[in-house]
Amino acid sequence: MRRAVNSPAATAVLCLTLVTGCGASTGTAPSESSPSVSLWGTSGPAAERSPKDRSEAFDVDRAVLRVKRLGYTADADAGTLKSLKGPLRAIHAHCTGGVDGKCVSVFFFYGNEYAGYDVPAAAQSTIKNQDGQTVTLSYPLYLPTDPQCCHSGGEAEYQVRWKDDKLVFSPPLPENPNYAAE
């Protein structure tokens, strides 16, 4: 029979294990051992909860803390995030400590559970719309000769939905959505 360990040292080790296992590292991008750029599944409590639990009030503080632990800072204030319709919500964030604004990511939550992100450290992106069922993302497209300030390849849009307990991007999201396929 296992016993609970209630020492501060054991708690610190457990927290460190959970944080580093969830993608927080010394780098600025969320990392996973073998990330998929178009689909993420969930496991554990999120997949086991009933739909009723997923429609509860959005825990903004918990979501912002998760984004922060991944090395990012949410671009919207708590009041704006609290007003997002669910159950599918997206939070646009920039790399904490970034100085040029060219390191962003979008973090998704289904109900109050973290569901994944778009890509690690995109150059630029925008959440154009979200209605609780679908999130529309837009990425400016840079051509190989474009300076960092100015894209000339137009924009690419992607719809993100929750289906079969995972995020689904349509069309599939490329590894680097800011650069047009060569």
Q: Looking at residue 57, what is its pLDDT?
A: 87
Helix (H, G, I), strand (E, B) or coil at 63: helix
Contact criterion met (CB below 8 Å) for 71 and 28: yes
Q: What does the alpha-carbon distance between residue 123 and residue 139 come to, in Å, rounded to a whole number?
A: 9
pTM for the predicted model, two decimal places: 0.70
Q: Looking at residue 166, what is its pLDDT?
A: 95
Q: What does the alpha-carbon distance between residue 173 and residue 10 come to, in Å, rounded to a whole number?
A: 40
| Average pLDDT score over the chain | 76
Q: Looking at residue 163, what is its pLDDT?
A: 95
Q: What does the alpha-carbon distance between residue 59 and residue 56 come to, in Å, rounded to a whole number?
A: 9
User: Residues 78-115: pLDDT tens digits?
Assistant: 999 999 999 999 999 999 987 776 889 999 999 999 99
Least confident range from 72-76, 112-116, 144-148: namely 144-148
Closest CA relative to residue 63, chosen from 17, 135, 21, 112: 112
Position with higher pLDDT, 129 vs 121: 129
Domains of the chain, residue spans: 8-170
Evaluate if residue 181 carries a pLDDT over 80: no
Contacts of 83 (CB under 8 A, 6+ apart): none
Find the mean pLDDT for residues 120-125: 87
User: What phi, psi does 89 have (nearest 5°)?
Assistant: -130, 150
